[in-house]
């Protein structure tokens, strides 16, 4: 990957180590600076993955499309009206597509980072856990779902405060950018479930078995006869990564994470926020294994799995066990995430052009921040 990403990751590792040693929230000033660097890096990035071509073409076509045709255009482009409206509004004010990517990255990272800082306990560590690989995908490539996920993360404040109406408003807004956020409605009620080590262990075990004995086949058959979402289901299947090693790695990491929660859960389950984040994350793991490779297994669990960082952050912040155990959990996930950076470089660096980072201000760029 390019230097800018190693620079961001290095800042997060150093500040996280300082924060962990003090077991208190890191300096908000430095936190904000790192977030701003992340926003500018993602928002100004150019030619990262092939997806940008389709998004840019959509932006150009929208400027020639009347508002009355927006719903029809949405159906044809398979993109939500909210995202298309944002493109059209910015275009009408003479902004170019670069303004779209910058605004999407800004909104996404502000919503996520402020929630991490408020509830994460040790927010630099939480932000680092998010940065690899979610930041690389959600704020650079899959920008529609990235913003929808950010709204889901932000809405957790209303889950904590039990304000259903405000929570649903967040879901409605997020739905305008990616329809898959609808599944996150489950989070409002799942946080009230009394999970313990035995329940978590059995649920995860059963869903892993269901995955490997072919539960997905049943879902695929059902979706073939559904009058709604069949096309979307096929689209998501097409987007699957056909790399068996990558899938196996994801399985192993999630299993090891659940084992860590089972072993150390007793040292943190007195904390309300930890239990909320843990429940949400565990549901993501269950969905990941149960639904396998289809639409449900690719897009939907992400809204829940992003709470891994918040779960671990709260666990470490309120940890009542031996300091050696606490250090073991922290350094295990820190080292894993660092290793993931280099794995990501090998698997995705050249494919997505993260190893050739440049901005849309570079010579040869076909769009900028505003129109000429």
pLDDT surpasses 60 at 360 = yes
In sequence order, which residues have a C-beta less than 8 Å from that of residue 303 and are 6 or more positions away?
148, 149, 152, 180, 181, 183, 184, 187, 284
Cβ count within 10 A of residue 315: 25
Q: Is the pTM of this model over 0.85?
A: yes
The pLDDT assigned to 284 comes to 92
Q: What is the pLDDT of residue 221?
A: 56
Q: Measure the CA dihedral 320/252/309/34, to 10°.
A: 130
Is residue 271 classed as helix, strand or coil in its secondary structure? coil
Confidence (pLDDT) at 111: 98
The predicted-structure confidence for 191-212, as pLDDT tens digits, reads as follows 999 888 888 888 888 888 877 7
How many helices (H) and strands (E) would you count in the chain? 22, 0
DSSP string of 1-67, one letter each residue: --HHHHHHHHHHHHHHHHHHHHTSPPPHHHHHHHHHHHHHHHHHB-S-STHHHHHHHHHHHHTTS-G
What average pLDDT does range 93-104 have in this prediction? Answer: 96
Tokens of 110: 């502000």
- Which of 22-36, 196-210, 212-226, 246-260 is the least confident region? 212-226
Could you write out the three-class secondary structure of 166-203?
Answer: HHHHHHHHHHCCCHHHHHHHHHHHHCCCCCCHHHHHHH
As given in the structure block, the two tokens for residue 227 are 């009058």
The CA distance from 312 to 331, in Å, is 12
């Amino acid at each position: 990957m390019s230097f800018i990403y190693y620079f961001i990751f290095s800042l997060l590792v150093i500040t996280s180590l300082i924060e962990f040693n003090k077991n208190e929230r890191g300096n908000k000033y430095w936190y904000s600076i790192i977030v701003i660097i992340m926003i500018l890096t993602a928002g100004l990035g150019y030619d990262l993955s092939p997806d940008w071509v389709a998004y840019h073409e959509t932006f150009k076509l929208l400027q020639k499309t009347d508002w009355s045709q927006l719903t029809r255009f949405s159906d044809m482009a398979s993109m939500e009206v909210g995202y298309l409206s944002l493109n059209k509004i910015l275009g009408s004010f003479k902004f170019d597509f670069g303004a779209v990517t910058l605004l999407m990255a800004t909104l996404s990272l502000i919503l996520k980072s402020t929630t991490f800082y408020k509830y994460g306990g040790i927010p630099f560590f939480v932000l680092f856990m998010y940065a690899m690989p979610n930041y690389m995908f959600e704020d650079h490539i899959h920008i529609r779902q990235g913003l929808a996920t950010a709204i889901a993360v932000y809405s957790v404040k209303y889950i904590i405060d039990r304000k259903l109406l405000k929570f649903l408003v967040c879901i409605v807004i997020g739905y305008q950018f990616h329809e898959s956020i609808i599944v996150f409605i489950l989070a409002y009620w799942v946080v009230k479930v009394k999970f313990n080590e035995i329940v978590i262990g059995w649920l995860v075990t059963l869903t892993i078995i269901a995955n490997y004995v072919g539960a997905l086949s049943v879902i695929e058959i059902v979706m073939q006869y559904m009058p709604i979402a069949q096309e979307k289901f096929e689209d998501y299947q097409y987007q699957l990564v056909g790399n068996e090693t990558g899938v196996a790695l994801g399985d192993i990491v999630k299993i090891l994470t659940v084992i860590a929660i089972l072993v150390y859960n007793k040292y943190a389950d007195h904390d309300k926020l930890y239990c909320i984040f843990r429940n949400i994350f565990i549901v993501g793991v269950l969905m990941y294994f149960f639904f396998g490779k289809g639409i449900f297994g690719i897009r939907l669990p992400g809204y829940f799995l992003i709470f891994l960082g918040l779960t671990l952050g709260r666990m470490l912040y309120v940890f009542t066990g031996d300091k050696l155990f606490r250090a073991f959990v922290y350094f295990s996930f820190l080292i894993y995430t660092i290793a993931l950076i280099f794995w990501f470089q090998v698997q995705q660096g050249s494919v997505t052009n993260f190893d050739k980072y440049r901005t849309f201000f570079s010579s040869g760029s076909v769009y900028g921040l505003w129109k000429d």
